[in-house]
Structure 1
Amino acid sequence: MLSSLRRVFRTKSSLGPKVEEKYSSEPDSSPNPLSRNRTTYFYSGIHTLHSSEYDEVDIVFVHGLKGDCIKTWKDKSATEPWPKTLLPLELGTARVLTYSYDSTVTGKEGTPSQNRISNHAQNLLAALATLRQNDNTALVTAQERPHQHLQDIAHFTRGVIFLGTPHRGSSLAKIGELVSRSYGFIKETNTDIVKVLTEDSEVLARIQDSFLALIRARGKDEASMIDITCFYEELPTKRLGLIVPKHSAILPGYASIGIHGNHAGMTKFSGPDEPGFRAISGELKRWMKRIQQTPRKPSKQAIVHCLIPYTCNPDFVGRSEILELLKSQLSCFDTSSQKKGHRRAALYGLGGIGKTQIALAYSYWLQEISKDTSIFWVHASSTERFTEAYIKVAEQCKIPGHQDPTFEALSSVKDWLESEESGQWMMVIDNADDMQLFVPQTDQSLNPLVTRDDSLGQFIPDCAHGTVLITTRNMQVGSRLTKGKRPIEVGKMDEHEAAQLLRKGLQQGDDTLMDLMQLSSHLEFLPLALVQAAAFIQENGITVIEYVELLNGSENDVVQLLCEDFEAAGRDSDTPRPVAQTWMLSFQQIKRQCPFAGELLSLMSLFDRHAIPLEFLEFYGEGKKRAESNIKMQLVKALGVLKAFCFIRAERGGDYNMHRLVQLVTKTWLTREGTMSGFAREALLSVSEFYPYGTFEEIATCTAYLAHASSVLQMQEIDSDEDRLLRASMLHRVGGYFLYQGRYCEAEKFQEESIALRKSSLGGDHPETLVVMSDLASTLCDQDRLNEAEALEVRIMETWKRTRGEEHHQTLDAMSNLAVTISAQGRPEEAEVLNRHVMEVRKSILGEDHLDTLISMNNLSKTLSDQERHEEAIEIQKHVLAAHKRIQGDEHPDTLLSMGNLARSLFCQGDFGEAEELQKQVMDTRKRILGEEHPMTILSMKSLADTWKLMGELCDPDIPIRVEVLGDALNLYKECLRVYSQTIGPDHTDTQETQTDLSDGDSLVVTDPTTNPPVSGLTMGERTGSRIFHYLW
């Protein structure tokens, strides 16, 4: 097994022939033949196989691991390698060289080389540079710039042929690594160099990325391009199969050719007619023809400049996807971008999101990967800063005339960068946020000092040998400056990136990952806020959790933390460092660029930050710009500006979301600007316009807009009577929603404040005040505070009688509500008188099938049932149910209420089967349309549980179904008790009755039913009907 594995590396070639332009230099004299005993002699370096005085190019053959500079290229039947005997006959004017190095992996009697691949590469580069040292141009350039003679080797390279090279590694290399390690027990080995060639090797991937970056940077210019051809083996070896599979041997986007041989035989040819030799020599001849036909450019090299104002940030983490996108868009790795033309990319995102840091990381990466590319950094926050940066470029690059007082820096630097003299370059235009600086608006009234001729955008150079990277908070600027190409959005960090950034900022500490995640979440994973937090924690000697507690304080506390100054790496000294100040600078830019956008941002900050409806904004716009006909267009453009600055984000449904921290800082900005009270009123007006009263038909809208209503009601910046009445109206509607949902404590709070505001502005007898008082009475009744409810309803009824008359619909509503409360107190006779009077008046005025009349009939039937007059009640209830189904449909809450009342009367009359069927239908429907914990749903569950309990109670104890029915009843009681305890409290009558029913049911399951006489249908009916009818608003 070991002998077979050793053969894998004996003839592997890791780098094929390399074609070079030839400069006048004498070939090295041939060394002595290689000794078979490597322990006594080893030749390393360039060996000339063929040369003549007419040579125009150099071809260098490089063998692979366990290879040999002669044997790798020599067929068994030949006495000399084919590059020496066959190739010169085909090419003629080419010097043929071979490079030898110690490629052993394991030592036999001696010690193998411990060089890594990078060491071998450097040695090859140095050997080639030495061979060409008589080139005067190279020597002169090397004196001006150290190591330039080494860079010239890459500059003069015109093609590379790969023969079975494992670009993506080889699965057998892993085995080879194990074998070389096993040799290590008895011999010295070099396992590192084998490990590099394993599949998915990170080192190999970096080498390939760097190589492709170099190739593609040369573009398709005939005078400098590098041709690539990859040859792959078509036949497997006998024992090990394919050593380097095709997918690893080729490079996507470049020519690939198969050789009909295995890995060892694909580098050995015996004659000129062999297909493999013809393919290789054919490629070389084609390349030589191109070189001969291409005019040679002067060898003068542009001086490389680096004007980056910041050092490399050691704390930079993550953002790998964005960096890869930049490499693609700026033509580092993307083969589709090799066409000639100027390339630009833009990073946009919220202030503090890390755009500059990404641009900085990319710049230092490019400086490392492309040594001949100059990098220029331009601050673009103002015309002065932009011009100052261009002056520095002119001075650094010694652009002619830069010392002249009349020197036009902007146009001169642009012209120089577009000339070939500047060489390859990249320019970073940082903080290009102000649209008017780069692309002035047509409406010059916005800024009369800026004209289109003064646009800075016209001074950004545009040429094939330069690239531009723009950072901006304004996506619209990025899109304009990249000529319509979509900018790359820089979003928040992910959890792991944020935690890693905090770790670096905190340097040390025993904070857990959970603590760091919690802090990151509070700060919305915003890099600048995280760095600011780490600086504050370090400076004040507190823990992460203590900082989180500060963030959990008031909004003012959070904003104060966001205003704390700190030092940050890679951040311009003239740019505000605190997050809050960074965004306030953006607010000012938005206000200058589009005042209407600034107004919308101010308004939106006072709503809830999630799902802000477009209709709120349209209402505001129509009110403010009523005289203008193009309000929709203005709204689209203004919202476009806010989206471009990443302050808001559009959702699919047409709503908008706002960044939480941006919202807090915007509110602070409004306070500082003195505009909070005005926008608070506008926000309240907008929500009030669209927030309905909480009836069944409007529940979806109420639920969707509830957060916005709560947000505007939290503001106290309201002083005038008009604003107080507007607030009272909003409180009334939200309170009605809470009442419908069974959230009685919240309903009472909102209703009481609404009453107080309306009393102070309108008086206690005003109709609007009385309407809210009626709602409050309903809320009190539902909380089992029946005496308070009755007193309030009597007062309301008497007021309506006095002001509107006894037959006014408001008076009748008040009577009807009072009757429900009296009935709940156990006074059905009094309730019947009121209900019958209301019903008769409504019949005569509104008709028998009017909804208000049907409510009166429903209430009357309840009082009749309370007096055990079930047949009368059932007759009325059947009529009411049929009318509701016909008018409102089978699933309307009023229809279900009538159905529940009918089931209750049937139950009290002893018709359990029909009652059970109706109750199950009501419960299932209410669960679906109202929710499983809605008060009416729980009431229907309680009624069905009562029915099942009584049915089980009446069953023969020997029938198995008895236990099943009682078990179902107990489950419903438990669910009702849980919800009641959470919503209306343990002291409410409904809660206590449910607890009693649950206890009774438990005793029925474990004891003889004859010892617990059944509860009468009437008593059970009173329990289920105590709160059914309080649905009169």
Structure 2
Amino acid sequence: MSRQRDRPISLSFDRPSLARNIVAGVHTTGGTTSFHFDSDNLQEPLKPDSNIPFRQDQDFVNRGDILTRVAQRCSQPASRAALVGLGGVGKSQLAIEYAHHVRKQSPETWVFWVYAATTARIEGSYKNIADMIDLPGRQQTSASLMRLVCNWLTREANGKWLVIVDNVDDEVMIDPQNGEHGESSSFASFLPQSSNGAMPITSRNMDVARKLVGYHKDIIIVPEMDQQEANELLQKKLSGQLGELGPQLLNALDYTPLAITQAAAYINDLHSRDLVLEYLKEIRTIRERNPLLENISPDVRRDEYSSNSVFATWQISFEYIRAKRPSAANLLSFMSFFHRQNIPEFMLYHYEDKNGDEQDNVDDEKEANVNGDENSNIGGHRKRDSNDSTTFFSHLQRELRADIRLLLDFSLIKGISSRDEFEMHRLVQSATRMWLRSSSAEEKWWGVFTAAMARDFPYVNYESWSRCRALIPHVQYLTEKEPLGRRQILQRADVLNKAECYANAQGLLVQAEAMIRICLRDRAKELGDEDLNTLTSFGALGSILSEQGKHEAAEDLNLRVLAGREKGLGKDHPKTLLSMSNLAVTLHRLGKYDEAEDLNRRALVGREKVFGKEHPDTLVSVGNLATTLCMLRKYNEAEALNWRALAGREKVLGKEHPDTLSSLANLGYSLSRQQKSGAEEMSRRALEGREKALGKEHPSTLWSARSLAFFLGDRRHYDESIYLFERACDGFERVLGASHPDTRACRGDFTDLLQARKNDRGSAVKFGFRRSMERLMRKER
């Protein structure tokens, strides 16, 4: 297992967003506040671009009038058109061709591609769009980011756009789903309909397509190719002529484009008519006995007509590759365990690893993990000597490139344009997984996949978020089946522990809790409740429960972790001090400020001794102690500590780091409590920094908006205070749910503000806000 440390709960005001609209600097006249808005029009407009994942196919065969019909429907304002057909008939290829056509004919039109197979892929696609359009708040990965993108698309001032929604097959993706807090949402609610845009959709599911487009006339059925179209595709893909064998082959392949493409790739490697004839016989034989379809899933059986031909051509190609270059077959086997879209190349260097080779002693791994040995075995892979690592990697890279090229040549995978990522067709993935299952190789390759994820999912910090984001969609496959051996169980637990850490940092608490509970169950079963790795999982669960407002349950878990670490590691061990700090935060949130102060001081002294005064963990304790002292009205000491935390974090982490922004927010609050100048400036800098670093609706950013709203309301700047309160309340409800304690508290405070404005009596307003600030501070991280 790789070294994984749990996160400290920081009382600093942590949660970011990027307010491009509010400009620091408030101008007050006669008791009311006018504040300026930064118009997007003041910025140089972005040149429309596209993120079409694949290059235009030079062998594309026009399918009758289908593209013409798509163009006619998409020429209407707020239009949608659905391409519906079996798997492998060419729906996505038609969408790719149309997208490139629009880009060439209308360069002033944005063209966006959305993968819609899973929620994770949808969120990733919206994140990619947000990056393209330089959208404020784009660091988020939750539904709030999708709402921001949707709102951008609905504004006609942003220009014309085309959004391709590819492979939306599951009704769960479009029907409203109840979230953790009772709120309902669906992917369909984030698909805009505005006069400046059009939306082609591809789907195998007629019911889904009908729900998305609304009208049956906007559904375009994509059938199998006719004989002339199929023959044209075959001739374009072949390097020679087949003569009278061509029509026989096309008939055996059901005129299915995917099967024709795979067959042509195989035939191009043959060199005689007799071998082609043998290939045709083999296809017919495989289809008659149909071994791969005996245990086919209901989802794939829906496409059984096209699946027969695709699986037949897949099996012949796969057996040929196994004989010619076994490592390429291994690569395809390995890739079949990822989500089939956006498979990152950096994860493909483990495909020749043999699951079970070089078995490491799990107890040694645990000991290395506890003692922070960064050179310990990770994910079942031993580190190589530095002298031969460069030579080995160069060799591995050459071999991988050769295997990838072979799979591309046989149309078993596709490369995604401008990115080092790949994808495989759903039927190719299904055929590969079924072959592995029938040949008793599935467990082996699942183990290789698990070990690779354990090795390459990074330790989660601000700098590693982009890599975590690339891997999160692939984590779901680790939860689809139970690992067989102890080694795999612990490797999966390691991945889920890190993935939970990332999800928690993004405010995705439902996903984070689901992952950490599986991790905790597995570690407790294999290692025992008192094992140090199990205690790490208990601590992570406590952190999530605290974020959800379940502070009593979090306190019990934190006490358990602290006692276990004091017993197993000693009172001065860094992880023991971390547990002490986390327990102090929970006590603070429960209003037990005296106990929290004592623990915060002990944690600070311990960390100064172990790490030094400028270590990031020491600065966390500095900030946490300052926050608790504020609640105890020890303002002078709190202010001094906040200045120390801010200066240290700016020096060590940089001015834009989320922890530095937390110190800014805390310092602003401390200054405001003492009626000192600079409070508003600090609060605005924290809000704007969080908007930029974390996104406009990240929980930490919403806390900053709420804190600034208090500050402005306290000074009777009602207009901007109301604006910020509305933003914070709506954001909390979307992100945390209407019943979350933070959402309810924010709504209550907003009501207090409106009442205070109605009954403005000078000092009475200030008193009301002082009490509100007590509640706010208690909930802040």
TM-score by length of 1: 0.45
Q: CA deviation at 1:825?
A: 0.8
Q: CA deviation at 1:363?
A: 11
The CA distance in 2 between the partners of 1:375 and 1:807, in whole Å, is 77
Q: CA deviation at 1:356?
A: 6.7
| Deviation sequence 1:686-711 (CA, Å, 0-9, x none) | 22221123321211111111111223
The CA distance in 2 between the partners of 1:355 and 1:604, in whole Å, is 33
Choose which of 972, 975, 995 in structure 1 pairs with 2:727.
975
The CA distance in 1 between the partners of 2:430 and 2:619, in whole Å, is 51
Structure 1 residues 316 and 615: alpha-carbon distance in aligned structure 2, compared to 1, 3 A threshold: closer
Alignment of 1:99-118 (within 5 A): none
Q: CA deviation at 1:633?
A: 3.0
Choose which of 751, 756, 771 in structure 2 pairs with 1:999.
751
Higher normalized contact order (CA 8 Å, seq sep 6+, divided by chain length): 2
Question: Do structure 1's residue 744 and structure 2's residue 611 form an aligned pair?
Answer: no
Structure 1 residues 357 and 1025: alpha-carbon distance in aligned structure 2, compared to 1, 3 A threshold: farther
Structure 1 residues 914 and 354: alpha-carbon distance in aligned structure 2, compared to 1, 3 A threshold: same
Structure 2 contact 328–406 (Cα < 8 Å) conserved: yes
Corresponding residue number in structure 1 for 2:618? 853
Question: Do structure 1's residue 648 and structure 2's residue 413 form an aligned pair?
Answer: yes
| Deviation sequence 1:447-469 (CA, Å, 0-9, x none) | xxxxxxxx559999xxxxxxxxx
Q: CA deviation at 1:578?
A: 4.1
SS at match of 1:1014: helix
Q: CA deviation at 1:563?
A: 2.7
Structure 1 contact 939–1028 (Cα < 8 Å) conserved: yes
Choose which of 347, 357, 361 in structure 2 pairs with 1:616.
347
Corresponding residue number in structure 1 for 2:463? 697
Structure 2 contact 752–768 (Cα < 8 Å) conserved: no
Structure 1 residues 558 and 617: alpha-carbon distance in aligned structure 2, compared to 1, 3 A threshold: same
Q: CA deviation at 1:990?
A: 1.3
Question: Do structure 1's residue 832 and structure 2's residue 597 form an aligned pair?
Answer: yes
Corresponding residue number in structure 2 for 1:377? 244
Corresponding residue number in structure 2 for 1:446? none
Corresponding residue number in structure 2 for 1:595? 326
Corresponding residue number in structure 2 for 1:775? 540
Choose which of 762, 773, 778 in structure 2 pairs with 1:1026.
778
CA RMSD of aligned residues (A): 3.8
| Deviation sequence 1:766-820 (CA, Å, 0-9, x none) | 1111111111111111111111111111111111111221111111111111111
Choose which of 679, 684, 702 in structure 2 pairs with 1:920.
684
Q: CA deviation at 1:620?
A: 2.2
The CA distance in 1 between the partners of 2:731 and 2:450, in whole Å, is 34
Structure 1 residues 459 and 644: alpha-carbon distance in aligned structure 2, compared to 1, 3 A threshold: closer
Corresponding residue number in structure 1 for 2:707? 943
Structure 1 residues 837 and 376: alpha-carbon distance in aligned structure 2, compared to 1, 3 A threshold: closer
The CA distance in 2 between the partners of 1:643 and 1:684, in whole Å, is 25
The CA distance in 2 between the partners of 1:906 and 1:970, in whole Å, is 22
Choose which of 438, 441, 445 in structure 1 pairs with 2:270.
438
The CA distance in 1 between the partners of 2:423 and 2:224, in whole Å, is 17
| Deviation sequence 1:600-627 (CA, Å, 0-9, x none) | 1122121112221112111223669999
The CA distance in 1 between the partners of 2:678 and 2:262, in whole Å, is 77
SS at match of 1:1015: helix
The CA distance in 1 between the partners of 2:604 and 2:665, in whole Å, is 20
Question: Do structure 1's residue 787 and structure 2's residue 556 form an aligned pair?
Answer: no
Corresponding residue number in structure 1 for 2:403? 638
The CA distance in 1 between the partners of 2:622 and 2:90, in whole Å, is 75
Alignment of 1:889-968 (within 5 A): 889-911=654-676, 914-952=678-716, 965-968=717-720
SS at match of 1:738: helix
Choose which of 749, 763, 767 in structure 2 pairs with 1:1015.
767
- Amino acid corresponding to residue 857 of structure 1 in structure 2: V
Corresponding residue number in structure 2 for 1:560? 301
Choose which of 326, 333, 338 in structure 2 pairs with 1:607.
338
- Amino acid corresponding to residue 438 of structure 1 in structure 2: L
The CA distance in 1 between the partners of 2:674 and 2:645, in whole Å, is 19
The CA distance in 2 between the partners of 1:1019 and 1:862, in whole Å, is 16
Structure 1 residues 619 and 977: alpha-carbon distance in aligned structure 2, compared to 1, 3 A threshold: same
Relative to its length, the structure with more helix (as a share) is 2
Q: CA deviation at 1:361?
A: 6.1
Q: CA deviation at 1:359?
A: 5.8
Q: CA deviation at 1:864?
A: 0.9
SS at match of 1:1026: helix
Structure 1 residues 981 and 668: alpha-carbon distance in aligned structure 2, compared to 1, 3 A threshold: same
The CA distance in 1 between the partners of 2:614 and 2:519, in whole Å, is 34
Structure 1 contact 764–770 (Cα < 8 Å) conserved: yes
The CA distance in 2 between the partners of 1:887 and 1:316, in whole Å, is 53
- Amino acid corresponding to residue 649 of structure 2 in structure 1: H
SS at match of 1:921: helix
Identity of aligned residues (%): 28
Alignment of 1:353-392 (within 5 A): 357-358=228-229, 360=231, 376-378=243-245
- Amino acid corresponding to residue 686 of structure 1 in structure 2: A
Unaligned runs of 5+ in 1: 1-314, 323-351, 365-373, 386-427, 440-454, 461-470, 473-553, 566-575, 953-964
Corresponding residue number in structure 2 for 1:674? 440
Alignment of 1:408-447 (within 5 A): 431=263, 433-434=265-266, 438-439=270-271
| Deviation sequence 1:927-955 (CA, Å, 0-9, x none) | 11111121211111111111111111xxx
Structure 1 residues 773 and 899: alpha-carbon distance in aligned structure 2, compared to 1, 3 A threshold: same
Structure 1 contact 434–593 (Cα < 8 Å) conserved: no
Structure 1 residues 948 and 661: alpha-carbon distance in aligned structure 2, compared to 1, 3 A threshold: farther
SS at match of 2:766: coil
Structure 1 residues 745 and 356: alpha-carbon distance in aligned structure 2, compared to 1, 3 A threshold: same
Structure 1 residues 944 and 678: alpha-carbon distance in aligned structure 2, compared to 1, 3 A threshold: same
Worse overlay, 609-618 or 825-834: 609-618
The CA distance in 2 between the partners of 1:758 and 1:644, in whole Å, is 43
Structure 1 residues 775 and 459: alpha-carbon distance in aligned structure 2, compared to 1, 3 A threshold: closer
Structure 1 contact 435–593 (Cα < 8 Å) conserved: no
Specify the structure having the higher radius of gyration (Cα).
1
Q: CA deviation at 1:967?
A: 2.2
Structure 1 residues 830 and 613: alpha-carbon distance in aligned structure 2, compared to 1, 3 A threshold: same
The CA distance in 1 between the partners of 2:515 and 2:509, in whole Å, is 10
Choose which of 415, 420, 426 in structure 2 pairs with 1:660.
426
Structure 1 contact 842–853 (Cα < 8 Å) conserved: yes
SS at match of 2:302: helix
Worse overlay, 428-437 or 897-906: 428-437
Structure 1 contact 910–1017 (Cα < 8 Å) conserved: no
| Deviation sequence 1:955-988 (CA, Å, 0-9, x none) | xxxxxxxxxx312222222222222223323333
The CA distance in 2 between the partners of 1:853 and 1:703, in whole Å, is 28
Structure 1 contact 884–894 (Cα < 8 Å) conserved: yes
Alignment of 1:318-333 (within 5 A): none
Unaligned runs of 5+ in 2: 1-88, 98-222, 236-240, 253-259, 281-294, 358-383, 385-391
Corresponding residue number in structure 2 for 1:420? none
Structure 1 contact 822–830 (Cα < 8 Å) conserved: yes
Corresponding residue number in structure 2 for 1:495? none
Number of paired residues?
502
Corresponding residue number in structure 2 for 1:706? 472
Structure 1 residues 589 and 874: alpha-carbon distance in aligned structure 2, compared to 1, 3 A threshold: same
Structure 1 contact 693–737 (Cα < 8 Å) conserved: no
Structure 1 contact 380–432 (Cα < 8 Å) conserved: no
The CA distance in 2 between the partners of 1:1018 and 1:694, in whole Å, is 37
Structure 1 residues 363 and 595: alpha-carbon distance in aligned structure 2, compared to 1, 3 A threshold: closer
Corresponding residue number in structure 2 for 1:176? none
Structure 1 residues 430 and 801: alpha-carbon distance in aligned structure 2, compared to 1, 3 A threshold: closer
